[in-house]
Amino acid sequence: MSDEQFYHALKVDEDTCFGCTHCMHDCPTGAIRLRNGKATIRKDWCVDCGECMKSCPVDAIYVEQDDFIEIFSYKYRVAIVPAVFFGQFPENISEERILSVMNELGFTHVFQAEHTVDIINEVILEFQDTKPEKPLISSFCPAIVRLIQVKFPALVDHIVPVKPPIDASAAFYKYLLIEKGATAEEIGIFYVTPCAAKIAAVKSPVGDDQNYVDGVINMDFLYNKVYQVLKSQTNTSSTIKQAAFPQLTSKGLKWSLTDGEADHMKGRCLAIDEIHNVIDFLERLENEEISDVDFLELRACDQSCAGGVLLSGNRFLGVERLRNRARALENKTFQTEELESFRNFIKKNIHLESLSPRSMMKLDEDMSAALKKMQRIRHIMCFLPGIDCGACGAPNCQSLAEDIVRKEAHLSNCVFIQRMMEKTRKLSPDHAIRLIENTWGKDRLDKDCKKKGAKNEGM
């Protein structure tokens, strides 16, 4: 998939952003720059992990999502819901009550995404026996898949080419309804997402040309909508309009949590969550500091999906609730004739196409030209102070050097270089001010002048 087609769910509200640089310094891929006093996201480096959204103190970074009213464009309105959604509610609220309210809000069918994890687990185990590349890396988290594509392209072949539960469950449920007489045009599949990365994955699937999900719904929005109805109810009994599927198994409830996958794979399996931890581990893996690992479960969020940026509740409480429910269901199995009858269909349509590297570090298509640019970056670094202050609008000196070589910035963007150039009269003070304005905006410099003027008027 080309860069132009690569969709990103995270957007910047320029009217709210005031250029505080929190997001720029927290971005794990260095995808954010400051231009004219506003944060800008470099799309070919962004992996939609949501770290910028979490760090923004004024909520200037938001998630672009589908309007809830779009579900009513379809006769059959299906919500594919991950288990972490139910973990947001207090344990005294049953899944049946939650499903009943979702029916009242307009969904004709609700299906939990993790119902297909047994089949996914089976296929991954088959890959463990046949695929020579070790370790295998889970494809569950789309932010991690994109992180590997852009930052660790040499590890792309280690990603298991198996679709995550959201895609497998959406494909299954759509064909189930078609088998029961619905037409494809009448069916709308909507995923209730805990994070921005899954929105991006739905809008521009990686390694999958066929997408069964028609839209995404912010989990925070839906949770609040459902919870308000539950609070207003005086009668706690529930009526579910659809034919209800049985409860998730213990494995299904824990699949989207840390260790949910790793506990069911063969050999030495490690589970690592939070994207900065993942990057540190992958750097060690790429440098061959780590060996003899068979399977890696990597998740971008702390506590995996329970820590998604679009969840309302505390991630630790959400994990506790799901683990409590899973503990009560240990050693119990729940099967449905429909799911078993579609087992072969799901296994046949569960494979991802080969993933392509999209290296953010590629300086030039021509290797000799790329090597020359790398030498130039090292040369520029000799002149930069190495303080990583961010005053140039880049997160650190290395990033500024790379931007200069890419012709996206100038050496004079560094405020320390500016001062040196002013002292030697190679740069006029007016020109230096214009450079600062290009990074921080005119308002940032005018602010103190306005305050002083107002103070003088009052004297």
CATH number, position 42: 3.30.70.20
CA 235 to CA 418: how far, in whole Å? 70
The count of structural domains within the chain is 3
Assess if residue 353 is contained within a domain: no
Cα distances from 249 to residues 191, 299, 332, 403, 426, in angstroms, run: 20, 22, 7, 50, 70
Specify whether 114 is located in the same domain as 15. no
Specify whether 128 is located in the same domain as 169. yes
Contacts 24+ apart (CB under 8 A), 430-438: 435/410, 437/36, 438/35, 438/36
Assess if residue 359 is contained within a domain: no
What is the predicted pLDDT for the residue at 354?
A: 76
Assess if residue 300 is contained within a domain: yes
CA-nearest of 210, 169, 213 to 191 is 213
CA atoms within a 13 Å half-sphere pointing along the CA-CB vector of 339: 20
Specify whether 74 is located in the same domain as 150. yes
- In which band, very low, low, confident or very high, does the pLDDT at 455 lie, cut at 50, 70 and 90? very low
* Type of residue numbered 96: E
Specify whether 296 is located in the same domain as 394. no
Specify whether 85 is located in the same domain as 134. yes
Over residues 96-121, mean pLDDT = 92
- In which band, very low, low, confident or very high, does the pLDDT at 353 lie, cut at 50, 70 and 90? confident
Instruction: Please report, rounded to a whole number, the percentage of residues in the chain having pLDDT higher than 70.
Output: 91
Specify whether 395 is located in the same domain as 343. no
Assess if residue 358 is contained within a domain: no
Q: Is the pLDDT of residue 451 over 60?
A: no
- In which band, very low, low, confident or very high, does the pLDDT at 291 lie, cut at 50, 70 and 90? confident
Specify whether 265 is located in the same domain as 384. no
What is the predicted pLDDT for the residue at 1?
A: 39
Assess if residue 354 is contained within a domain: no
What is the predicted pLDDT for the residue at 343?
A: 79
Q: Is the pLDDT of residue 132 over 60?
A: yes
Q: Is the pLDDT of residue 380 over 70?
A: yes
User: Which of 63, 87, 115 lies at the terminal end of a domain, its last residue?
Assistant: 63
Structural domain range at position 19? 3-63
Specify whether 342 is located in the same domain as 393. no
Rounded to the nearest integer, the mean pLDDT of the chain is 88
What is the predicted pLDDT for the residue at 458?
A: 47
User: Which of 348, 377, 405 lies at the terminal end of a domain, its last residue?
Assistant: 348
Q: What is the pLDDT of residues 317-328, one digit of tens each?
A: 999 999 999 998
Cα distances from 303 to residues 152, 209, 261, 273, 315, in angstroms, run: 23, 30, 13, 6, 7
Specify whether 98 is located in the same domain as 224. yes
Q: Is the pTM of this model over 0.85?
A: yes
What is the predicted pLDDT for the residue at 334?
A: 63
Specify whether 338 is located in the same domain as 246. yes
Assess if residue 209 is contained within a domain: yes
Assess if residue 101 is contained within a domain: yes
- In which band, very low, low, confident or very high, does the pLDDT at 449 lie, cut at 50, 70 and 90? very low
User: Which of 318, 348, 378 lies at the terminal end of a domain, its last residue?
Assistant: 348
Specify whether 39 is located in the same domain as 97. no
Non-local (6+) Cβ contacts of 372 within 8 A are none
Specify whether 27 is located in the same domain as 151. no
Assess if residue 319 is contained within a domain: yes
- In which band, very low, low, confident or very high, does the pLDDT at 346 lie, cut at 50, 70 and 90? confident
For the chain, state the CA radius of gyration.
Answer: 25
